[in-house]
Every structure is written in C-alpha cells, then in structure tokens.
Amino acid sequence: MGKPFKRLAIAFVSVVAFFGAAELVLRWSGFWYPPVEAIQVWNRVEDEEMRLGRSLHENTGRQMWRPRAGAEVPWGGTVNEAGYRGPLLSREKKPGVVRIATLGDSSTFGHSVEYEQTYSAQLEKLLDAAGYDCEVLDAGVVGFSIRQGIERYDELVREYRPDFVIEAFGAVNDHLPAIQSVPDKDKIAMNLGVGGYWTQVGMGLRQDCRIVQFAAKRIDLARGVTSDVRDREFKKQKRETELESSVGNVDWAGKRRVPLDDFEASLLELQKRVESDGARLILLSMPRQPIVEKRAPVLVQYSEKVAEVGARQGLDVVDGRAAFASALAGGKKVDELFADAYHPKPFGHRLLAVELGKVIVPRLQSAKRE
C-alpha cells in the first residue's frame, strides 16, 4: 500500500471518526431540530414511493400524480404506455365509433378488481352487445379529487375526443382533510414536484441525522427563522391531526381537499370544458357502504350536490347510490356489492354499467334518428 493511499485512508477514517463523535455528542445532549415538512404532493408515504420509483403512480405537474406507464397494477395487468388502465386506444377515433371516457377515483380505476370487471370495461361490452361500436377510455386514478380530474381531462382525455365523458367524483377523496391545510385547487397551482432517489436520501438525513439538523439550525438562524415561527407551524400540524377524526361531520373546522362549494364549481368547470369540446358530460353518483354515510354524513352532501348540479344544468345523472340501495333492498348482501367501504366488487361494477347504459343508449338512438 503506497504512502498517498495510506494518507487518504487516514484522512477518511479521521473524518468519519470526527462526524461520528459529533453525532453521538449531539444525540447524548438531547439536541433535536426536526424539519418543518415541505408541502406534500399526496402524502408522506405515497410521495416517498413515487420518489423511489416503487409506486403505481408518478408525480406529474398539475395532475399531481397519475398512473405510471408500465407499472404493475395490484389487481391485474399493467398501466399502458399512455398512462391509463385498459386497452391502448389510438388518438384518432375511427368513423362510426362511439368513444366514452370515464373520469373518477380508485373505483373508476378499478381498485380490487381486474380491468375486465370494471364498470368501464363492462359498459363497453354492454354497448357492443346493443349494436354500437364502442370504445371506453378508463381515465380513473387512485386517490383523485374532482380538481385533479379536470386536469386529467385537459392533459389526457380531451385529445381522444370522446363523445361522452362520465364524471364519478365525490365518493370520498374530495371531503378528506387538505394535508398541511392546502386544498387541491391551491396545491395544483403550485405545480409541486417530489424529486427522486437523492431527494429522498437528503430528506432522510435531514430527518434523522443530528449533524445535518445542527447545520440546518445554523442556516435557519442566519435566515431569521425563529423558534416561534417553527412553533406555530408545529401547532398547526398538531391541530390538523386532531381534526382528522371528525372530518366526516357536516360542520367541520378544518380545510377539505375540495370543499363543497369548490366541488360544485368544479362540476360546472368540467361541464364547460367537455361541452366546449363537443362532448356530453354524464354525472355518476358513486355508491358507498351505508355505514360509511352514517359515520360521515357530509358525504351525502357531495352526492346531493351531484344531483342538484345535474338537475340545474340539464345534465344526465346516473344514481349509482340508488342502484346499490335498491340491490340491497332486494336481498343482495353488502359484501356481494362492495370489496370494502367504497370500492365495488364485479357485480357492483356491473350495476353501474347497466345504469349508465340506460342513459347512453337512448342518447345514441336519438342521434341515429337525427
């Protein structure tokens, strides 16, 4: 071993020993300076998974996240190269083909079921059986709110020029607490990014390494970030956590991802965009297990808002909640319809497809007569 290498090895060991001793001293003295978290795109867990490339999703501009092309879907298949579940459709629509796009959350994406069992796929089969050449683009995304749905319409759906767009929001995500008190509308405007692997490494060091925390404190002091500023932020985070348990109440003191008034405005905005592109918007009121609505009565208001806006704007409204309630009254069991509190099983998806068909087929028949 040459002298230059020995010197380099000694220097390396010395540096490691110095920082190791400093880390131990800081920990022994009780020093702790945790970070005030940057705005989360989705939540702490999902953001980390996206940074590490392990998620079903990827971070993307104004949609915030979307299915990652080529990702394995837990319930079967993969996300296609255009970034949605189901068969890859050509951008150009063939003459005579009826094209439908479904916009929604995890229930529309097909949480807990194979793609062929989703209401999107079953609707396509139903219309084909009725004699219509039909294509359905499933643009649903796990965790999506209607605000994200508008962005997905702009960035993906509209270039496929659908004849019908089915909106299926309001079941759960819209009413949830706005993480760090930033509603989806504002978060979308921020155009946030989550970074990659090295971003995650840096965040881990900032969270766990006392030397990095010590350096961060020195920097904060130099920037004029005082302890009272940090205390206010931590108190706000604590209050948000305490409020989460009561988010289902009608009168709730926190901020929701999409408050009810913004939910209404979003429905109107989506209608405006869809109709300006020459398509027809259909509102689908999604079902939930009855026990969920008892525990979170505000959810019913979101469903009622769908019906109210539809009636006022002259839109077709498909009441999936009523269809499930009728099935339950007719003897079907909850676990025959639902995989969990919100996500339908294949039979439930079939119900939704049938109810949508009852609205779409007469529209197609009328168009033929014209």
Sites in the chain below the pLDDT cut of 70: 1-2, 369-370
Domain presence at residue 263? yes
Cβ neighbours for 20, distance < 8 A, ≥ 6 positions apart: none
Write down the pLDDT at residue 165: 98
Write down the pLDDT at residue 32: 87
Q: Give the integer Cα–Cα distance in Å for 129 and 183.
A: 43
Domain presence at residue 359? yes
User: In the chain, what is the straight-line distance between the N-terminal and C-terminal CA atoms, in Å?
Assistant: 90
Write down the pLDDT at residue 370: 66
Phi, psi dihedrals of residue 256, rounded to the nearest 5°: -95, 160
CB 148 within 8 A of CB 268: no
DSSP state at residue 61: G
> What residue numbers bound the domain in which 301 lies?
83-176+256-369
Domain presence at residue 290? yes
**Number of domains into which the chain is organized:** 1
- pTM score, two decimals? 0.93
Q: Give the integer Cα–Cα distance in Å for 207 and 197.
A: 15
Q: What percent of the chain has pLDDT over 90?
A: 80
Angle, helices 346-369 vs 320-329, to 10°: value is 130
Write down the pLDDT at residue 229: 73
Q: Give the integer Cα–Cα distance in Å for 104 and 343.
A: 12
Q: pLDDT per residue over 169-214, tens digit each?
A: 999 999 999 999 999 999 999 999 999 999 999 988 989 999 999 9
CB 84 within 8 A of CB 101: no
Write down the pLDDT at residue 2: 64
Domain presence at residue 350? yes
Write down the pLDDT at residue 9: 78
Q: Give the integer Cα–Cα distance in Å for 50 and 71.
A: 12
Write down the pLDDT at residue 121: 98
Q: pLDDT per residue over 124-169, tens digit each?
A: 999 999 999 999 999 999 999 999 999 999 999 999 999 999 999 9
Domain presence at residue 116? yes
Domain presence at residue 295? yes
Domain presence at residue 25? no
Domain presence at residue 92? yes
Residue 97's domain is classified under what CATH number? 3.40.50.1110
